[in-house]
Chains A and B, each alone.
Chain A
Amino acid sequence: MKTKSALISPIEPDRTDTGNTPLSSMEAKKRGKISHLETKNPGILQKLMAMGVLPGMPVTLLRRKPSFLFEVDQTRYAVDREIADHIFVSC
């Protein structure tokens, strides 16, 4: 779990610099476009790419609870917070 301060510090500058925010801190029912994927964890990266979650794709976050539920193109995905942290969205 992220604490509140952790949520503000590493992500906030990112948001102001590039207009990017991780899917995990997006509000429900918001739409955006995937800008990039966090590439440090090869396992998660490969899974996301294989399943078609790729930069340039439009994304809609449908739910934050009980898990993150989002739609890319015509497909819905359920992911946990850790995976949602790896997807960056520009609004």
Chain B
Amino acid sequence: MKLPYICSKNECCCRNTGNCPGTELPKIVLVGNPNVGKSSLFNSLSESYAVVSNYPATSVEITRGKGRIGDREYEIIDTPGMYSLHPISEEERVSQRMLFNEKPFVCLHVVDARNLRRMLPFTVQLLEAGTPLILVLNMMDEAEDRGLEIDMEKLSRLLGVPVVGTVSSEGRGIEELKTEIAKFSPSGNMPEIDYGSNIDPYLSEIESQLAVAKESGISKRAFALLLLQEDLTALEKVSEKEEKGGCGCENRRSCGLRSIAEAASKQADSPLTYLITLKRQAYVNEIVEQVMPDTDPGDTEGPGRRKEKSETAARKEKSGVKKIALAENIDSILTHPALGIPVLFLILYFGFYRFVGVFAAGTVVDFLENTVFGAHINPWVSAQFTALVPYPLLQDLFVGEYGIITQAVTYAIALILPIVGAFFLVFSIIEDTGYLPRLALLVDGMFKKIGLSGRAVIPMVLGFGCSTMATMVTRTLETRREKLISTILLALAIPCSAQLGIILSILSGNPKGLLIWAGVIILEFLFIGYLAAKVLPGENPTFILELPPLRRPRLSNIAVKTYSRMHWYFLEVLPLFVLASVLIWIGRLTGLFDLALKAMEYPTQWIGLPVDAATVFLFGFFRRDFGAVGLYEMHDSGLLTGVQLVVAAVTLTLFMPCIAQFMMTVKERGLKTALAISGFIFPSAFLVGFIVSTLLGALGVVL
């Protein structure tokens, strides 16, 4: 069974512990830059599934799976992308620590074959660290399209490790890779880089002091290099030792290490990281020139650049040129300062409004709910159940107004599933094209005003799918301030797919109402973001993002991804809906339900809605999508006027995050922050609802 999804096994998908592989298996660890295809490769090697998309940092957590290669079983570990052994962000440090702490049988360094010059420094770092390594040149097809030829044999000889070329999305080269893994034995080859007089003496001094113990999990040289670059993990290791030795100064070894590093950085005219990186790059450049002799870094496009080229390569390049030119043209429209915005609206209109809102949430849901369930399944089940079980109490629990079958199952299958499915389908396509990074570039300027960088658009957009998973993705943002602001906005103003789908569908017959709703939500989003950016201390983030090439989405990947997300969502939603039915049943037996309903009636009436709408918000406490379903029912029975519908939709959109999102916020930002956010949201949702209701009333708007 291919199991979902972005969250790692031990977070939320690993209730079935049978899927968490034991620790005794030899480990294959996939590492590499973001967006080079690690997860895609993971999927080909293991029996598990990791989500694959075309934007950097799709995987934010380590995913583990089992896989059989040859006649041995391995534990296969997919890691979030990292740029080097010297990490910058928190999620890179997760990968770094796991490399240090888990002793892999072999590490697959996955690189983008187009960018050897940029990728190999990391390979060299891994070798310096003494990691057992196979170098995987992925996306060979795209390198060929660009007419790049790589002498893999020579590269393998120069680096002293096996090199395999693959196209993971097509499964090309996977068999060769498996063969290499099966016969792998570590070479122990270590590159000898001359780091120059500013570094080398200090390096050997630290190394000689480290000679006593080897607790870092990596080679002494790599550890010393990290220490010189003031790497946090390396410093932590040193501090750990200091603590063990009592006072920092007592333990001369660790204090010595730090003072060497300090002395080294004092005598150098530039930061040591800079010097070390440049030296390493020079070493890599020499290798690259030998394995790709016809690429001159000073002139990538000039005529007569590639002197000797095999015929097949030339042919591939020719067809590649066309492909690239097309992608180029589309790209220049998507990122155009003026044209980009209308394109965005076209995508929103057709992808989300027409397809999800009108088609899935309208036509499909209508058919499933009213025809399939309403006219056939539910009456039949009710009749059967009533005949079989003569107790009204149990009848009420299963087939009553809020019954498990008549409400929970019907809602989950007839309403939520088609909407969420349609959403995830559109998302998968958008993700796989590589549009999201372009969107980030487009909105960076505007996002800066609300304290975010363009990069934050990725979790925001993902939030329209499921705010819970999007809250986890805020991890990829750089500063704490940015993470906090985006978490607040996700909890406050971003409706999740089910909710959004239903609201789009309810308001689809009412374009003015839809515009008012969208306008209010966008205003609130910007206003709260602006306020948060003003209030929260700290600097505005900087924006730097790698833009992957635009790619044609692959049908198989979209299908698997959409399916696995629906599967995950459904499994998450159904038990909660059933639980809600049971709770309501108990509540109605004990009278608590009516009491809670009474309490909710006040704010409901306050914002100008009929008393009956209180149920919607009571449901909303449980899950936002559950509340939206309640609203759908009310709309279906024609209980609300146009204005009331808009007010209810606005209030519900801004309403409390669901339990899952709340838990995720607790996990990512801490309990206090999560409570503070929720404490703010509840009154503010009603306040905005009140303002909208009063304004529309005062202006005499009829919708």
Q: Is B88 an interface residue (CB 8 A)?
A: yes
Interface residues of chain A: helix, strand, loop or mixed (majority): mixed
Chain B residues with Cβ below 8 Å from A44 are 542
Interface code B534-554, partner A: CB below 8 Å = 1, 0 otherwise? 000000001111110100000
Contact status B118-A46, CB under 8 Å: no
CB within 8 Å for A80 and B547 given contacts A57-B297, A58-B300, A69-B441: no
Residues 426 to 458 of chain B near chain A (Cβ within 8 Å): 437, 440-445, 448, 453-454
What chain A residues lie within 8 Å of B281 (beta carbons)? Answer: 54, 56
Name the A residues within 8 Å of B88 (CB-CB).
43, 46-47, 50
Check if B335 sits within 8 Å of A45, measured CB to CB.
Answer: no
Stretch at the interface among B17-25, B270-278, B520-528, B614-622: B270-278
Give the residues from 58 to 106 in chain B that come closer than 8 angstroms, CB to CB, to chain A.
Answer: 83-84, 86, 88
Q: How many residues of B contact A (CB 8 A)?
A: 44
Tell me whether A50 and B454 are in contact in the complex, defined as CB-CB below 8 angstroms, given that A75-B115, A76-B546, A78-B544 are known contacts.
no
Measured CB to CB, the nearest residue on chain B to A65 is: B337
Give the residues in chain A near B278, CB-CB below 8 Å.
Answer: 54-55
Task: Determine whether the beta carbon of A56 is less than 8 Å from that of B448.
Answer: no
Report yes or no: A82 in contact with B542, Cβ–Cβ below 8 A.
yes
Q: Whole-angstrom distance between the alpha carbons of A37 and B299 in the complex?
A: 20
Contact of A78 among B83, B84, B298, B444 (CB under 8 A): B444
Which residues from A are CB-within-8-Å of B544?
Answer: 47-48, 51, 77-80, 83
Q: Tell whether, in the assembled complex, residue B444 and residue A46 are in contact, meaning their CB atoms are under 8 Å apart.
A: no
> Is the CB–CB distance between B543 and A73 below 8 Å?
no
Q: Is A10 an interface residue (CB 8 A)?
A: no
Determine how close the nearest CB of chain A comes to the CB of B279; give it in whole angstroms.
Answer: 11
Check: B258 CB closer than 8 A to any chain A CB: no
Contact with B along A11-45 (1 / 0, CB 8 A): 00000000000000000000001000101001111
Report Cα–Cα, A66/B340, bound state, in Å: 9
Residue in B closest to A48 when the chains form the complex, CB atoms: B544
Q: Which residues of A contact B253 (CB under 8 A)?
A: none
How far is A33 from B86 in the complex, measured between Cα atoms in Å? 26
Interface core residue of A50, A75, A82 (most chain B CB under 10 Å): A50
Contacts of A66 in B (CB 8 A): 335, 337, 340, 441-445
Quote the shortest CB–CB distance from A53 to chain B (angstroms): 9
| A45 vs B121: C-alpha distance when bound (angstroms) | 16
CB neighbours of B441 from chain A (8 A): 66-67, 69, 78
Chain A residues contacting B148 (CB-CB under 8 Å) are: 74
Chain A residues with CB below 8 A from B172, complex form: none
A63 to chain B, nearest CB (A): 6
Contact partner, A50, options B84, B440, B547, Cβ 8 Å: B84
Q: A73-B297, A74-B114 are in contact. Are A80 and B448 (CB under 8 A)?
A: yes
Whether A52 touches B118, Cβ cut-off 8 Å, given contacts A63-B335, A66-B337, is yes
Beta-carbon nearest neighbor of A64 in chain B: B337
Residues of A within 8 A of B453 (CB): 80
Bound CA–CA A33/B119 (angstroms): 19
Cα of A48 to Cα of B340 in the assembled complex, Å? 26
Q: Is the CB of A49 closer than 8 A to any CB of chain B?
A: yes
Write out the residue numbers on chain B whose beta carbons fall within 8 Å of the beta carbon of A77. Answer: 544-547
Indicate whether B146 reaches chain A with its CB closer than 8 angstroms: yes
Residue among B277, B298, B299, B442 with the highest chain A CB neighbour number at 10 A: B277
- Cα distance A56–B337 when bound, in Å? 30
Kindly state the separation between the CA atoms of A44 and B478 in the bound complex, as whole angstroms: 11
A39 near B270: Cβ-Cβ < 8 Å: yes
Given contacts A33-B298, A39-B270, A56-B297, contact A69 B335 (CB under 8 A): yes
Question: For residues 478 through 496 of chain B, which have their beta carbon under 8 Å from a beta carbon of chain A?
Answer: none
CA of A54 to CA of B273, assembled, Å: 12
- List chain B residues, Cβ under 8 A from A39: 270-271, 274
**Would A58 and B547 be within 8 Å (CB), given that A37-B274, A39-B274, A45-B274 are in contact?**
no
User: Which single residue of chain A is at the shortest CB-CB distance from B118?
Assistant: A52
Residue B117, interface by CB 8 Å: yes
Q: Are A45 and B271 in contact (CB under 8 A)?
A: yes
> Which of B114, B298, B443, B543 is within 8 Å of A79, CB to CB?
B543
A37-B281 Cα distance, complex, nearest whole Å: 14
The answer to whether B115 and A51 have CB atoms under 8 Å apart is no
- Chain A contacts for B437, CB-based, 8 A: 78
In the assembled complex, the CB of B321 is this many whole angstroms from the nearest CB of chain A, namely 14
Q: A46-B88, A47-B88, A67-B444 are in contact. Are A54 and B277 (CB under 8 A)?
A: yes
A76 and B547 contacting across the interface, CB-CB below 8 Å: yes
Contact flag A67-B454 (CB < 8 Å), given A73-B117, A73-B297, A78-B437: yes
Query: Given the complex, which residues of A lie within 8 Å of B277, measured CB to CB?
Result: 49, 54
Q: Do residues A78 and B440 form an inter-chain contact, with CB atoms below 8 A?
A: yes
- Per the bound structure, the CA–CA distance linking A88 and B167 in Å amounts to 35
Distance A72 CA – B88 CA, assembled complex (angstroms): 21
New A-B contacts (20) at CB < 8 Å, excluding given A74-B146, A79-B542, A79-B544 = A45-B274, A46-B86, A49-B273, A50-B83, A51-B118, A52-B119, A63-B335, A66-B441, A66-B444, A66-B445, A67-B441, A67-B442, A73-B118, A74-B114, A75-B114, A75-B118, A75-B547, A77-B546, A78-B335, A80-B453
Partner-A contacts on B (CB < 8 A): 83-84, 86, 88, 114-115, 117-119, 121, 146, 148, 270-271, 273-274, 277-278, 281, 285, 297-300, 335, 337, 340, 437, 440-445, 448, 453-454, 542-547, 549
| 11 A-B pairs (CB sep. < 8 Å) | A37-B274, A43-B88, A44-B542, A45-B274, A50-B86, A57-B117, A58-B300, A66-B443, A73-B117, A74-B148, A76-B547
